[in-house]
Structure 1
Amino acid sequence: MERLTDLIHVSRETLDRLDRFVALFTKWSRAINLVAPSTLDQLWERHVLDSAQLYALDPRPRKWLDLGSGGGFPGIVMAILMMETEIGSVDLVESNRKKAAFLQRAIAETGARGQVHTLRIEAASQQLAGYQAVSARALADLERLLGYAEPWLAAGATGYFHKGRDYRREIDEARRSWSFDLLEHESMIDADSVILQIYNLKRIGG
């Protein structure tokens, strides 16, 4: 928790909400697979802090979309951090009903400013619009991820995507199908990871 306050300034109330989320996550993880079990003992570092980096990169209140939200990283963490301001919210898209139920419970128990949509991403693109930012973590390789996010990025949203040590290969492969502007942010948590900030997305030959 100390490293979070080094990363961003948050209130005691926000820290308490994150604590409640972590406790709930740990409880539900015994029943359903929310993250790799091997990372549970590093939950704050590997998942909470890693997710909170997005808020540090762009803390402006905004309408945010999180794709394939799974265990709530980064979506629930961002929705909790947005409680620091009067506006801003996160829509979380998760097709797995058990994981969606967990996300709904997390929002109810923490008061996070978010809403869960139990939809496939393809269906979400037909129903959800008007976002300034789109995020996804551990969802797909970059080329496929841009395909999922295209409806929103092509409409002007900015993408924030966590990627691991193989990210340069993913960028090269994605550029065969996509044209985009890119900012690479070194991870504050893992020296082998980055957050890719992507905007002005266009399909090549499309």
Structure 2
Amino acid sequence: MDSITPQQRSELSTGARALGVALTLEQEDQLLAYLALLIKWNKAYNLTAVRDPDEMVSRHLLDSLSIASYIGTGSRWLDVGSGGGMPGIPLAILYPDKYVTTLDSNGKKTRFQTQVKLELKLTNLEVIHSRVEGHKPEAPYDGIVSRAFSSLEDFATWTRHLGDNSSRWLAMKGQHPADELVALPADFEIDSAHALAVPGCQGQRHLLILRRKA
């Protein structure tokens, strides 16, 4: 982790505490090891538009951890359109007792995620290279999360087959997407909406939790 600075470690630990997330030293090390791999691979694989490593702690790690208190008791989670592995990989690190699947159609990005899984020994993480409509899990997921993946309408429509009436869909957004809520499919409803305060992030962040109607 030669690329990780003491400032980045401090920003992660103080930011996590501000979010109410209790990280063990091992989890802190794993998150920073993931960040180091992201910085290294991003130069060739274009995993994220954020180029400044100093911005990645807040915009990737802390942003992913900001939804931790909304994960709840569900044990099987899917991160759809995971890209560089966010928020799925940080959540897999934070919750070693939960089974997290990351899904992306970009082979470069899933190869990177697989490397992270191997190097960090994340036995509770499964990486799948597939389009979302082609993914057929053996059982519905307890939770399906997306981070700037698509509109709420597309998110619900494309992932409808991956959950059931007891599942929750967590959509991470920037500004509150009032216009997108109008187009939500008829069989989905908003369970709750939350403004997120992510340490170090200047822009607005929101989480919308959806459910299928019974």
TM-score after normalising by structure 2: 0.84
In structure 1, the gaps of 5 or more residues are none
Residues 47, 62 of structure 1: alpha-carbon distance in 2 compared, 3 angstrom cutoff: same
Q: Indicate the SS of the match to 2:44.
A: coil
Q: Match for 1:198 among 182, 185, 210?
A: 210
> Using the alignment, how far apart are the partners of 2:150 and 2:204 within structure 1?
18
CA deviations over 1:3-52 (Å, ceiling 9, x no partner): 11332112110000001000000000000111113564311111111111
Q: Which moved more, 1:15-24 or 1:134-143?
A: 134-143
- Please list, as runs of the form range in 1=range in 2, the aligned pairs for 1:41-80 lying within 5 A after superposition: 41-60=54-73, 62-80=75-93
Residues 17-26 or 103-112, more deviating: 103-112
Greater fraction helix: 1
Structure 1 equivalent of residue 5 of structure 2: none
**C-alpha contact 1:154 1:201 (8 A) present in aligned 2:** no
Q: Secondary structure at the match of 2:67?
A: helix
- 1:32 matched to which residue of 2? 45
C-alpha RMSD of matched pairs (Å): 1.9
Which amino acid is 1:197 matched to?
A: I
Provide the residue aligned with 1:115 in structure 2. 126
SS at match of 1:144: helix
The question of 1:101 aligning with 2:111 is answered: yes
Kept in 2: contact 1:162–1:195 (CA 8 A): yes
Aligned positions, number:
197
Instruction: Work out the CA distance in 2 between the residues paired with 1:9 and 1:61.
Output: 19
Distance in 1 (alpha carbons) for counterparts of 2:166 and 2:72: 18
TM-score for both structures, normalised by structure 1:
0.87
Distance 1:5 1:61, change over 3 A: farther
What is the aligned partner in structure 2 of residue 134 from structure 1? 144
Post-superposition, which runs of at least 4 consecutive aligned residues in structure 1 deviate over 4 A?
Answer: none
| 2:174 is equivalent to residue 164 of structure 1 | yes
Q: What secondary structure sits across from 2:66 in the alignment?
A: helix
Letter in 2 for 1:174: L
